[in-house]
Amino acid sequence: MKGILKKHLPEFVYGSTDGTVTTFAVAAGAVGAGLPFSVVVILGVANLFSDGFSMASSNYLSELSKENVPRREALNNALITFISFVSVGMVPIIPFIFYFISGYKFNNAFLITLILTAIAFLFIGYVRGRVVKTKSILLTCSLSLFVGGFAAAISYFIGAFLSKIVIS
């Protein structure tokens, strides 16, 4: 298993980070704009699968652009990208999905999303650090958290700002 992860680490890091960032960005933008949770779920799930497919197919075409890359290897890389994108990228919308499935009403879904998303970024950094045998797992975790958190913050604040202009 570790050999497979090492071979496909770039696809895992790229797919899972982008999946988490973009799904959180959709959720954060919608919450920042004051949209209902139902919109967060719809946009989040639609984004998760369409963007995951887009990344995987782009990865596939990119791999085929290299010399002497077998189609099977390109397909495997694309599949790892998609699975990583969707499996880790779903983390930011889990609280919103739970909200609807359970019927349990809570006002802190976004706070829970923030915490779970931070944990997802730390997990990505941890896996990357372990596989490449970095001297500082804390550094790889922190870097993943910083990069992902910064991208997510951009979306939240743009959503909040635009909601003041568009929704008046």
Q: Smallest Cα–Cα separation from 45: which of 100, 114, 4?
A: 100
Cβ neighbors of 55 (< 8 A, separation 6 or more) are 14, 15, 18, 19, 81, 82, 85
Domain count for the chain, please give it: 1
Q: What percent of the chain has pLDDT over 70?
A: 96
Distance of alpha carbon 59 from alpha carbon 71, whole angstroms: 12
Show the domain range for 58. 2-157
Q: What is the pLDDT of residue 1?
A: 60
Domain assignment present for 38: yes
Confidence of residue 153 (pLDDT cuts 50, 70, 90): confident
Distance of alpha carbon 141 from alpha carbon 125, whole angstroms: 4
Q: At what angle do helices 37-64 and 71-89 cross, to 10 degrees?
A: 160
The identity of residue 63, as a single letter, is E
Domain assignment present for 10: yes
Domain assignment present for 164: no
Give the pLDDT confidence of 21-42 residue by residue, as tens digits: 999 988 888 887 778 888 899 9
